[in-house]
Chain A
Amino acid sequence: MSRERTRILIVDDEEIVRESLSAWLEKDGYTLATAQDGETALERIRKERWSILLVDLKMPGIDGLQVLEEARKIQPEAVAVIMTAYATVDSAVAAMKIGAYDYLVKPFDPEELSLMIQKIVTQQALVRENVLLRKVLKREYHFRDLISKSPTMQAVFDLARTAARSHSTILILGESGTGKELLARAVHAESPRSQGPFVAVSCAALTETLLESELFGHEKGAFTGAAARRKGKFEMAHGGTLFLDEIGDVTSKLQLDLLRVLEDRKFFRVGGSEAVTVDVRIIAATNRDLQKAVADGSFREDLFYRLNVIPIHLPPLRDRLEDMPLLVEHFLEQLGAEMNRQIDGVSTDAMGILMAHTWPGNVRELRNVLERAIVVAPGRVIETSDLGLRRPPCADIGDNGSLASLDDVEKHHICRVLQDAGGNISQAARTLGIDRATLYNKMKKYQLRKDGEPEPEQEPS
């Protein structure tokens, strides 16, 4: 633990106090500075980072309380200790209510001062260590902007990293919201083309004609409204990566056009007769089952093979529930910063609901749900009611004409009771008339148990 890194600002209007206090603390090796009034103090707090603020309560002009309030806004991580004389202990207590760490009554016992400073320094070191550790851990779970600790996704990251180094065409398959574009961007960023452009086109958003001109550009007068020659996305992506999202939605004419580009590496602008050659790496993506589309004839087999050089499957969120806490933490941090709100986390019940949701919109849906929750949450913890998610109905049984087995019925019933109890195991166990351990075992058997849920003997009653 480095003491020099602990920066202490002493704010007191009495010179003798500033001098003797800094002489005393200097011998501990801390970095010290003094300010003789509130204004000077705030100036220094705005300009420099401080670990500890030792602030006298009573000062002419801006008093200690105001310094404290401002400091909390500018540097909330700086720990403030209030110094006061006997007469103002009440206001020192008031200062603690607005976030002071503690107060010292002048003159203070050397032991008291020493212990307090040591305690703060130790705590700050722990916080730093924790942040560092979490950063390291997170980096392990990161592939650029994608986060996951699930083994399936780790395999995806490995494959994508390897694929990035080649120039081969990549086909990303996955439901919407699984992060296909993020993966494409990550591949681009890790590739030798990272200095070149990354151009994304959504093939489903445009009509055939528009998409054609969007991809290949057009010559002046190629069609009504084509007032000037325009570069297409292929040309724009020259030297970089072209991301063709929702490739499964393109018409058969465009499928043929794309096939030609992939085969010849050249194309014609709409209305043009001159072949354009570009150096572009193609990453395509779709949420459709292309193999099925090939089988039923709606997608060209030859194009599919051209695209399917390196297929990467992004698993849906429901198949990597172990990532839920990680993703929730990440989004709360990210969104909280964007929206200027400090959110500490989600309640256990709310996490239960997030785990139980089927996530048709995957990670993107999760982000949206959390964004909404931050808007409506009154406190610093997201509660069940803030999520706007209902527990999904338990899977229906016996609706396929056959009679359900006893296990199916039990699973369904436990699921219903768990829903009613809002995920509260103890309450659900009471309703079912069984003990918690039995309920846990059944949840495990029917896979109703979520990852990370404590074993029954560890759960506080």
Chain B
Amino acid sequence: MDVYLWWIGAAAADHELLGMVRRRTEQAFGLPVRAWLSHERPADSYDARRQQHSSTRILKWLLDARPKEAAKIVGLTDVDLFIPILTFVYGEAQLGGTAAVVSTARLASDTGFRPDHALLTARVVKESVHELGHTFGLIHCPRPTCVMARSVNLVQVDAKEPVLCHDCHIRFGELRKQGQEHHE
């Protein structure tokens, strides 16, 4: 089970941030996570009318462009993401699939003030773990402190811990077992 983390943002990669996301996702799921370095960037994900990037199109691109050995791939970006029916999303993932994407754009601040780096990192970590959780088939958790809790605003993001709660952890184990049986 190879999990890859890939910076696909417009600005240069923040290696401190990426390192933290990598360590925390490894801790949350007990799996090795690798950083993938490449200059390739998603093509035609930008929507001129909305002046945002389509997270769905980025997921499709990630699926195609990912290293073949990557069973899961999490794209990290600094561009603002949307899905057609919503004004924005922090991230998006294929439920029980392969690809996930998380954006730092709205996690930085919703007041326009300069982001606190530690706080931003903590939020990106949580949303990355969250979206990766979705690719493993985990759905939203009713516990507001669980990383799998739905968060549609920064207060909710900040209320979460970067780890799976007990129930979600058990569920993750079941889903992984099912997945492995499926492969045999």
Contacts and interface: CB of A to CB of B under 8 A. Distances in A.
Contact of A21 (B82, B85, B134): B85
A107 B85 CA distance: 5
Given A107-B85, A111-B152, A29 B95 contact: no
A16 B50 CA distance: 15
- Interface size range on B against A: 10 to 19
A91 to B, nearest CB: 19
A16 B82 CA distance: 12
Interface in A15-56: 16-17, 19-21, 23-24, 26-29
A113 B139 CA distance: 17
Interface in A98-121: 106-111, 113-114
A436 to B, nearest CB: 48
B100 to A, nearest CB: 12
B152 A114 contact: yes
B84 to A, nearest CB: 5
A109 B87 contact: yes
A29 B139 contact: yes
Nearest to B94: A23
Nearest to A17: B85
A53 to B, nearest CB: 15
B86 A109 contact: yes
Contact of A27 (B85, B88, B140): B140
A24 B85 contact: yes
A106 B87 CA distance: 8
Contacts of B86: 20, 24, 107-110, 113
B153 A23 contact: no
B83 A20 contact: yes
Interface string B78-99: 0000111111110010010000
A83 B150 CA distance: 22
Contacts of B152: 109-111, 113-114
Given A20-B56, A28-B150, A114-B152, A108 B85 contact: yes
Contacts of A28: 139-140, 150
Interface string B86-125: 1111001001000000000000000000000000000000
Contact of A107 (B82, B92, B153): B82
A111 B82 CA distance: 14
Contact of A106 (B85, B89, B92): B85
B171 to A, nearest CB: 11
Interface string B142-161: 00000000101100000000
A110 B87 contact: yes
Interface in B56-85: 56, 82-85
Interface in A134-184: none
Contacts of B88: 110
13 contacts: A14-B84, A19-B56, A20-B56, A20-B84, A20-B86, A27-B150, A28-B139, A29-B139, A29-B140, A106-B85, A107-B85, A111-B152, A113-B152
Interface of B: 50, 56, 82-89, 92, 95, 134, 139-140, 150, 152-153
